[in-house]
Structure 1
Amino acid sequence: MQNRKSLPVLVEIEKRRAVLIPRWRVFLKRFSFWLLAALSVVTGGIAMATAFYVFFDNDFTVDHDTIQQLFIERPFIADIINSIPYVWLAALLLFTLVAFFGFRHTKKGYRYSAPKVIASSLLASLLFSLCLNATDVGGYIHRYLIENVRMYNSLIYANEQRWTNARKGLLGGKVIQIDKVAHIFVLKDFQQRLWSVDFSNAELRPKTRIAPGRFLKITGVTTGTGAFHAISIQNWEKRYNKRKEVQPKKVPLPVKQPAEVL
């Protein structure tokens, strides 16, 4: 009786020319989907950590002394909206969808609804991003992209863009070399341009130190091509995202040409 019931099954197998799949191949397929889901959660956490850094590194979050100057020509709400790191949020959404796809193709993934899987993926990415922010991983990624990928600058509106506006008296970047005798230091801005900054009469904000490798925010006026006279200088980093200083390569200080006597 049992043989008769199994006969149609055997006929169907023969008809479809089905072959037995090796166990290792089934295991590899399931492992691949789990790996895809896990990697997507990890990359989503990295994207979320970088998004947090980009948004909360803005001056309007804590630095109330410069808010009035920064937003004198831009409405406050509009600037906040522009400061939202949409590119990183889009990356987070993409990785979340990939994680959902990978999990749903696991052995028991079909049992869970889409909202539960997506919410769990976002929660896992959030928890992972908090761990990354404890070591400032998001800040390192953002700063690396700012300094090395030109296209990245056009995709976001971060604090680096605000302080790359020497015409309006805002200059930010990394100190390359300093001449304490002449009260001049060389600064590389976030568009890889070198500036000779005169800080002889500048006001140093509390706990501000001018040294090679330091990132600074400077207010002042341009006095020529590549020349800037500083009025006030402050540290770039806030209390929650201090970075280890990296000593840059020394470059020769720009030499001022003496004025011709008529």
Structure 2
Amino acid sequence: MATALYVFLDNDFIEDQDYINRFFIERPFVADVISSIPYIWLAALGLFTLVAFFGFRHTKKGYRYSATKVIAASIFASLFLSVGLNTVDVGGYIHRYLIENVHVYNNLIIANEQRWTNSQHGLLGGKVIQTDTINHSLVLRDFRKGLWRVDIKNAEVRQKTQLVPGRYLKITGIKTGRRTFEAHSIQAWEKKYHKRKPLPPTVTPVKTL
């Protein structure tokens, strides 16, 4: 359930007004919200709730409580635990591991990572592997484990976005080759951002490829 909360709350329509405006043009907003619901995790919640219900009913005092109360208590406990786990990003770690390493998971869920693995439409997301201060570029690994050389010399970087290895980024721009991309704007993957005045790109020197 912690992962289900993370997957839904990680979507750009939760906070990013630019994303909302763009998607009103590209597709119905309600349809995008509905497609973003993590049904596989909700199904898992339902399964675990049933297991908890039948397990509790077979205890010595389980028969004293109605089915409604037992199921409601189970769901409430799951939600409470999930919120607690999400405060330390457990759901995010689980989700990102699955989406990067378990191929079938990508077919069972529509997540923000998939939206940002769309270089043909100018959207590229992933993890920074290396930065190159000489050529003003970085190497980014997308969520399908493809490596991209991203030109960032003319990119607008949102405030508090760190272009350092290990960070996850959302990049808009133009695909210029099979594995090359010209960045127009760069922002951190994490939420809690709003539209701010862009800053010049900053890079951390490491060995070039």
Q: TM-score, normalised by structure 1?
A: 0.72
Contact 2:23/2:29, CA 8 A, preserved across alignment: no
Match of 1:145 in 2: 98
Shift of 1:73: 2.1
Match of 1:231 in 2: 184
Match of 1:243 in 2: none
Task: Report the residue type matching 1:157 in the other structure.
Answer: I
Task: Report the residue type matching 1:134 in the other structure.
Answer: T
State the identity %: 69
RMSD: 1.6
Match of 1:199 in 2: 152
Shift of 1:96: 0.1
Question: In structure 1, how many angstroms separate the alpha carbons of the residues matched to 2:153 and 2:118?
Answer: 21
Shift of 1:252: 6.5
**Residue 49 (structure 1) aligned with residue 2 (structure 2):** yes
Question: 1:106-163: per-residue Cα shift (whole Å, max 9, x none)?
Answer: 1111121111111111111111112111111111111111111111111111110110
SS at match of 1:174: strand
SS at match of 1:65: helix
**Residue 210 (structure 1) aligned with residue 163 (structure 2):** yes
Shift of 1:200: 0.9
Task: Report the residue type matching 1:135 in the other structure.
Answer: V
Shift of 1:100: 0.4
**Residue 118 (structure 1) aligned with residue 65 (structure 2):** no
Largest Rg, 1 or 2: 1
Q: 2:61 aligns with which of 108, 112, 115?
A: 108
Match of 1:187 in 2: 140
Contact 1:176/1:251, CA 8 A, preserved across alignment: no
User: Any unmatched runs of 5+ in structure 1?
Assistant: 1-47, 241-249, 254-262
SS at match of 2:16: coil
More helix by share: 1
> Given the superposition, is the C-alpha separation of residues 203 and 180 from structure 1 closer, same or farther in structure 2, using an over 3 Å criterion?
same
Q: TM-score, normalised by structure 2?
A: 0.90
User: Any unmatched runs of 5+ in structure 2?
Assistant: 194-205
Shift of 1:65: 2.2
Question: 1:181-228: per-residue Cα shift (whole Å, max 9, x none)?
Answer: 101111000011110100011111111121100100000001111000
| Structure 1, 59-68 or 136-145: larger mean CA deviation | 59-68
Alignment of 1:76-115 (within 5 A): 76-115=29-68
Question: In structure 2, how many angstroms separate the alpha carbons of the residues matched to 1:139 and 1:50?
Answer: 6
Contact 2:148/2:179, CA 8 A, preserved across alignment: yes
Aligned positions, number: 197
SS at match of 1:143: helix
